[in-house]
Amino acid sequence: MKLLTTISDTLDPGFGRIVAVDLERETAEIVLEWVPPPSLRTSGKGFLGLAWLGAPGRSDLIACAHAGLCRIDPATWTVSGVLHQPCMNDLHHVAVHDGRLLVTNTGLDRIDVFETSGQFVGGWDLSPAWIAAERLSGCNPSRGSWAGALQLGWKLNSNALEDERFPPNLEQSASPSLPFPTRKTRHFVHPNHITMLGGRPLVTRFIDRSIQDLADWSFSIPETPGHPHDGELHGDCFWITCTTGLIIGYAIKNGRLTPQEIERIDIPRRIGRSGWCRGLVVTDHLIVVGLTAVQYMPPFGWSDPDFSKTETSILAIDRRTLKLIARVDFQRFGQLPKLFGMVELPTMRD
C-alpha cells in the first residue's frame, strides 16, 4: 500500500511538503516542497490536510496551507493554483463533496465552502459573527469571555470580549499588527476535520471533545474519550483519532452517526508506540495512522508529562490481528518534524 502525507517542521520557515510513502518497503521520500509567498508564510506551518480533487490517483490534489488551499498536479508535482481569502488562518482539513470544497478554517473556528472553481458559496460559523469580526480586527479573547459571549440570553448585557495577551514567547507571532492570515490566534472550538456522511457534514471539535452534525447542529458524539482529530468514513463506521493515541470506530445507522463504539484501539498499549496521533487511513485490511513526537506540554490533548519516548512515524496495523505490520520512521525529515494529513495513493494499472 502507498500513501501521500503532509509533513512540516516546527523550526522551518513554513514550507509545504508532501511525502510519498511505501508501506511494503517501509520507505518515504519528499515529492513536493512548496515555498509560500511571504504574505502567506508562517514559521513552522506547512501543509496540513490533504484530499483528492477527483478520482484518487487520477486527479489533482488539494492541500491546506496555513492560509490558503493549494491545487497540486501530482503528474509534475507542481502547485498549479492557490485559493486564499484574508479570513483564512490555520486551515486544517479540506473535504471534496458534490463538486465543492469544505474547509476547516480552524484559526477562525469556521467551516468555509467553495466551488472547485474557487467561488465562495457559504459556510458554517461555530461562534457568533461579531466575535469573528473582533478577532479579525486583532482581539485575542480570553476563554472565559468567549464562553460568556455565547450565553448572553435575553438580557441586554454588554457584548464585550476581554482581550487576553499571549505569553511573552508568543506575543510577537500573535501581535494585532500582523495580518490575520499569518497571525497566531487563540482557538476556542478548533474544528479539525470535516467529513460528509451523505448530505450531513460532520466536524471533529478538538477543544470540547465532540463530533457535531452541522446539518441540524446536533452533537452526534457529545463527548469523545480524547481530543479528536481525524474523522474518516469506511464501511458502516466513522473512525476518529484522538491525539493521545486512541482510534475509535463509531457505528453508522440509518444514515446517521451514533455514539455506539464498534472498535477501540489504544496504540500505546496495543502497539507500544506513542506520539501525537493524527493522520488516518482505513481500508478493509489496514488501519494506517500517523504519530508526531511531542515537543512540549500542550494545553489540550496530552496528559503524560514524560514525552521523551514519543516518535514521528507512520504505523500500519492489521485490522484482523491488530498487530503492527509496517512502520516508517520520519525523524530524518527535520529537527522537529510533524505529520499531518494522509491519503491513499492507488497503484495505477494499465
Tell me, what's the pLDDT at 306?
A: 82
Answer whether residue 213 is part of any domain. Answer: yes
Please give the DSSP secondary-structure letter assigned to residue 150: T
Answer whether residue 190 is part of any domain. Answer: yes
pLDDT tens digits, one per residue of 260-306: 999 999 999 999 999 999 999 999 999 999 999 998 888 778 877 78
- Domain with 311 in it: what CATH number? 2.130.10.10
Q: Is the pLDDT of residue 8 over 50?
A: yes
DSSP string, 47-68: ---EEESSSTTTS-EEEEETTE
Q: Is the pLDDT of residue 175 over 60?
A: yes
Answer whether residue 154 is part of any domain. Answer: no
CB atoms within 10 A of CB 117: 8
Answer whether residue 118 is part of any domain. Answer: yes
Percent of the chain with pLDDT over 90: 84
Residue type, 9: D
Choose among 47, 49, 12: nearest CA to 31: 47
Q: Is the pLDDT of residue 349 over 70?
A: no
Tell me, what's the pLDDT at 300?
A: 79
Answer whether residue 150 is part of any domain. Answer: no
C-alpha cell at 338: 510533524
Q: Is the pLDDT of residue 39 over 90?
A: no
pLDDT tens digits, one per residue of 302-321: 877 788 899 999 999 999 99
Confidence of residue 110 (pLDDT cuts 50, 70, 90): very high
Phi, psi of 329 (to 5 degrees): -85, 130
Answer whether residue 153 is part of any domain. Answer: no
Q: Is the pLDDT of residue 350 over 80?
A: no
Predicted model pTM = 0.95
pLDDT tens digits, one per residue of 112-171: 999 999 999 999 999 999 999 999 999 999 999 999 888 878 887 777 899 999 999 899
Please give the DSSP secondary-structure letter assigned to residue 240: E
User: Lowest-pLDDT range, 3-7, 146-150, 200-204?
Assistant: 146-150
**Distance of alpha carbon 146 from alpha carbon 41, whole angstroms:** 28
Answer whether residue 157 is part of any domain. Answer: no
Could you identify the residue written with the cell 515529492?
Answer: 31
pLDDT tens digits, one per residue of 48-92: 999 999 999 999 999 999 999 999 999 999 999 999 999 999 999
Q: How many domains does the structure of the chain reveal?
A: 1
Which residue stretches of the chain are H helix? 129-136, 143-149, 267-270
Domain that holds residue 204: 2-143+162-344
Range 254-282 burial, b when 16+ CB lie within 10 A, else e = eeebeeeeeeebebbeebebbbbbbbbbb
**Distance of alpha carbon 116 from alpha carbon 96, whole angstroms:** 9
Q: Is the pLDDT of residue 336 over 50?
A: yes
**Distance of alpha carbon 54 from alpha carbon 59, whole angstroms:** 5
CB atoms within 10 A of CB 160: 11
User: Lowest-pLDDT range, 40-44, 96-100, 155-159, 322-326?
Assistant: 155-159
**Distance of alpha carbon 115 from alpha carbon 111, whole angstroms:** 14
Answer whether residue 218 is part of any domain. Answer: yes
Instruction: Report the SS3 class of residue 292.
Output: strand
